[in-house]
Amino acid sequence: MEVAQQSIDPAAPGAGGEWSLFLVALMPDRTVALYADEGAYARGGAAHNIRLPDAGFVAAPVAAPMYNYEHAIMIGSRWFLCPDTRAESEAWLEAILTFKK
């Protein structure tokens, strides 16, 4: 899925940034791992590991769509995930919000 990292208000018009394609995995230690390709996944070489907070803001749908990323969700304070469909977005959001160690 496409992923972007920003430290700006996701509700601002035109928010977002450089989007890149990653394989995304929710890991047992409450991190979201981003892999550049299947080879990196097979080697366990995540390009980024996003630690999900135990309390406070974890994830939410983006209030105002960015560019053509209408299914984007924000995780933490700087990361945006953009699944291809509303159903995928809702499934990722539910998985992230209900995930327990």
Domain count, the chain: 1
Tens digits of per-residue pLDDT, 10-27? 454 445 457 788 989 999
Query: Closest Cα to residue 1, out of 85, 90, 99, 101?
Result: 85
Answer whether 26's CB lies under 8 Å from 99's CB.
yes
Q: What is the CATH number of the domain that holds 43?
A: 2.30.29.30
Phi-psi region of 76 (alpha: psi -120 to 50; beta: other; left: phi over 0): left
Domain range for 49 is 2-98
Look at the chain and count its residues.
Answer: 101
Answer whether 75's CB lies under 8 Å from 52's CB.
yes
Higher pLDDT, 38 or 66: 38
Tens digits of per-residue pLDDT, 53-86? 877 788 889 888 777 788 999 888 788 899 999 9
Residue 45 has pLDDT above 90, yes or no: no
Longest dimension (CA), the chain: 38
Q: Are strands 2-5 and 20-21 parallel, antiparallel or unpaired?
A: antiparallel
State the pLDDT confidence band at 101, using cuts at 50, 70 and 90.
low
Rounded to two decimals, the pTM is: 0.77
Higher pLDDT, 7 or 29: 29
Answer whether 3's CB lies under 8 Å from 18's CB.
no
